[in-house]
């Protein structure tokens, strides 16, 4: 194999690894939103995705595939938005946006939320994932109340 072929093979391997990571992080982000819908009874249409560090505007809403951005830290970043209302029958909404990064590692996922210092580690197994999501919700709600 020539040096050039070795470079191409290394590139193909790295690209394949990156695509696999992106796929798993996208699925994780989708699962996280599904847990918010299920556990908090959020209407699915009130969960939105934004590119990282973008202020909410209806034109900025993206499918999760387009909202994910790969960072220099090796994690995928995105904004997870939640439309909220002052009252259920009030059509006026505001959007609360969490800036999230997620990285996949051999033990599971590492979730970071802007404003929280400690990462939240969630295992790969789906039966354990709901415990992890609950830990995320519990941790975030406790810290949000205390600040």
Average pLDDT, the chain: 82
pLDDT (average), residues 88-108: 84
Other C-beta atoms closer than 10 Å to the C-beta of 12 total 10
pLDDT-based confidence at residue 135 (cuts at 50, 70, 90):
low
pLDDT of residue 127: 47
Q: Specify the pTM.
A: 0.72
Cβ–Cβ under 8 Å, residues 100 and 29: yes
Each domain of the chain, given as residue ranges in start order, spans 3-144
């Amino acid at each position: 194999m020539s040096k050039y072929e070795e470079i191409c093979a290394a590139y193909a391997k790295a690209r394949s690894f990156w695509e696999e990571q992106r796929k798993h992080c996208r699925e994780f982000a989708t699962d996280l939103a599904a847990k918010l819908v299920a556990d908090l009874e959020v209407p699915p249409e009130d969960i939105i995705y934004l590119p990282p560090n973008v202020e909410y505007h209806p034109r900025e809403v993206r499918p999760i595939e387009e909202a994910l951005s790969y960072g220099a830290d090796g994690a995928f970043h995105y904004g997870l938005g939640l439309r909220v209302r002052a009252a259920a029958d009030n059509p006026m909404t505001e959007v609360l946006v969490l800036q999230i990064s997620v990285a996949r590692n051999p033990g599971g996922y590492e979730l970071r939320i802007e404003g929280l210092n400690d990462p939240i580690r969630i295992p790969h197994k789906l039966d354990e994932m709901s415990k992890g999501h609950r830990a995320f919700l519990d941790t975030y709600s406790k810290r949000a109340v205390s600040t």
